[in-house]
Amino acid sequence: MAVAELSPSYSKICLHSSQVSFSIRLANHRRCALRPSPRTRSTRISCSVAPNQVQAPVAVLPEDPNKKSDCFGIFCLTYDLKAEEETKSWKKLINIAVSGAAGMISNHLLFKLASGEVFGPDQPIALKLLGSERSFQALEGVAMELEDSLFPLLREVKISIDPYEVFQDVEWALLIGAKPRGPGMERAGLLDINGQIFAEQGKALNAGASRNVKVLVVGNPCNTNALICMKNAPNIPAKNFHALTRLDENRAKCQLALKAGVFYDKVSNMTIWGNHSTTQVPDFLNARINGLPVKEVIKDHKWLEEEFTEKVQKRGGVLIKKWGRSSAASTAVSIVDAIRSLVTPTPEGDWFSSGVYTTGNPYGIAEDIVFSMPCRSKGDGDYELVKDVIFDEYLLKRITKTEAELLAEKRCVAHLTGEGIAFCDLPEDTMLPGEM
């Protein structure tokens, strides 16, 4: 195998081709891509640029050649951040994988990640973008726009259609990509088709991701997708898997604020219980407005019981109708919120919702499913479930319903979680409007 031999004064090595991944051929001909990736055998081709063309005092060769496979454009350079005055105090670079990277949610999210808005102004990041064969050209387009944005913190961008390659060494995996439901497809069919994707991605995470990777599943049906992913990644703590219910939480806060005539920052302690579906339970019993129980502030309890939940859930559908597109921007914002809630300490007395693993939960919710519950974090990436919540009959009845649904979904994907033969008895269609 030929290995690149470059003196430090030449910075770059070039293009290759591989069997599984695509190599990027843009007008720029100086690309690095040292092969093979951990799973795919492929040729290493390396070449230097003409020595008289460039001076690159900053860029240095990667220590581990495998780390730089499938990089894109300017992001193929490697940096000794400790060698530079401006970047010396930065944290160690972290790898963040994003699936469905060519989609609209990602088109908002990636730029937020790269700008430093999520992980802070001293956290350099590497983005590893997972797409499909069909979306690969679009992935290149996304990477080009990231180049043109000149984000100082964005130090690497890789694009690939191979989850094993993308998830190698990642500290965060944001799993946004999922197949949309085809015409006439039942929820069971959707569970199966997406479940297979998340089973594969779980295996890939298990094989190569950081042992402490945090996995946030956005692609629907996200709770059960997260369960499938987790079950296929036995070497990663179950606690590290999340299903996104933060957009529901944000919408619920906004609707309570609107009803109460206060700004949304006055609403706290908002829990979404259960499944990210129409059985979800936005909890107005424990939520607070200006520190007071919601029911003391909003006296229209009929509205709370009969209209509030529907308002939260119909939001996506109303939006599609008005705007002609699904709520990509606010979904991306809620993903940012969800990540920030894990990397910054939760404000005293407050909490946030996330779909997490139920085993060991203090609420008596069935074990071994992924269920949205109230969480607090010390800002270390981990969380604990909140103990001081109250229940009444109305809340419990609804929690039982969403729990039953998630148990049914689990039976429906038993073939994907290694628990025998699937049996599907999903009673009704519970996809949220606007998320078909």
Q: Tell me if the bond preceding 36 is cis, omega within 30° of 0.
A: yes
Shortest reach from residue 70's CB to a second copy, in Å: 16
| Residue number with CB closer to a second copy (73 or 202) | 73
Contact 161, 132 (CB under 8 A): yes
Q: Which of 93, 45, 82 is nearest to 60 (CA)?
A: 82
Interface with a second copy includes 344 (CB under 8 A)?
A: no
What number of H helices and E strands is found in the chain? 12, 16
| Residue number with CB closer to a second copy (6 or 193) | 6
Shortest reach from residue 110's CB to a second copy, in Å: 8
Distance between CA 188 and CA 419 in Å, rounded? 17
| Residue number with CB closer to a second copy (67 or 108) | 108
Shortest reach from residue 256's CB to a second copy, in Å: 10
# chain residues binding a second copy, by CB under 8 A: 81
Q: Which amino acid is at 431?
A: M
| Residue number with CB closer to a second copy (103 or 355) | 103
Distance between CA 409 and CA 401 in Å, rounded? 12
Shortest reach from residue 282's CB to a second copy, in Å: 13
Range 271-310, binding a second copy (CB under 8 A): 289-290, 292, 297-300
Shortest reach from residue 254's CB to a second copy, in Å: 5
| Residue number with CB closer to a second copy (14 or 285) | 14
Binding mask 389-418 for a second copy (x = CB under 8 A): ------------------------------
| Residue number with CB closer to a second copy (140 or 409) | 140
Binding mask 25-54 for a second copy (x = CB under 8 A): -xxx-x------------------x--xxx
Range 129-148, binding a second copy (CB under 8 A): 137-138, 140-142, 144-148
Distance between CA 363 and CA 373 in Å, rounded? 9
Bridge partners (DSSP) of residue 356 are 371
Task: Provide the annotated active-site residues.
Answer: 276
- Structure tokens that stand for 154 in this block: 């964005």
Range 206-265, binding a second copy (CB under 8 A): 247, 250-251, 253-255, 257-265
User: Beta-carbon neighbour count of residue 146 at 10 Å?
Assistant: 22
Quick one: which segment of 38-46, 106-114, 279-287, 403-411 binds a second copy (CB under 8 A)? Answer: 106-114
User: Beta-carbon neighbour count of residue 10 at 10 Å?
Assistant: 21
Q: Which of 27, 129, 126 is nearest to 67 (CA)?
A: 126
Shortest reach from residue 236's CB to a second copy, in Å: 30
Distance between CA 68 and CA 64 in Å, rounded? 8
User: SS3 letters for 80-115?
Assistant: CHHHCCCCCCCCCCEEEEEECCCCHHHHHHHHHHHH
Q: Which amino acid is at 384?
A: E
Roughly how many angstroms between the first and final C-alpha of the chain, as a whole number?
49
Pinpoint the alpha helices (H) of 128-286: 136-148, 163-166, 187-208, 222-231, 246-260
Range 304-343, binding a second copy (CB under 8 A): 311, 314-315, 318-319, 321-325, 327, 329-330, 332-334, 337
Bridge partners (DSSP) of residue 158 are 71, 128
Bridge partners (DSSP) of residue 315 are none
The residue from 117, 122, 306, 429 that contacts a second copy (CB under 8 A) is 117
- The enclosing H or E element of 310 equals helix 309-323
Distance between CA 432 and CA 436 in Å, rounded? 7
| Residue number with CB closer to a second copy (187 or 259) | 259
Q: Which of 48, 79, 74, 46 is nearest to 62 (CA)?
A: 79
Range 55-94, binding a second copy (CB under 8 A): 55-59, 73-74, 77, 79
Range 144-203, binding a second copy (CB under 8 A): 144-152, 155
| Residue number with CB closer to a second copy (320 or 426) | 320
- Structure tokens that stand for 395 in this block: 């809340």
The residue from 98, 102, 157, 166 that contacts a second copy (CB under 8 A) is 102
Shortest reach from residue 23's CB to a second copy, in Å: 15
Shortest reach from residue 185's CB to a second copy, in Å: 25
Instruction: Give the dihedral sign, CA 116/354/142/162.
Output: positive
The residue from 67, 108, 203, 401 that contacts a second copy (CB under 8 A) is 108
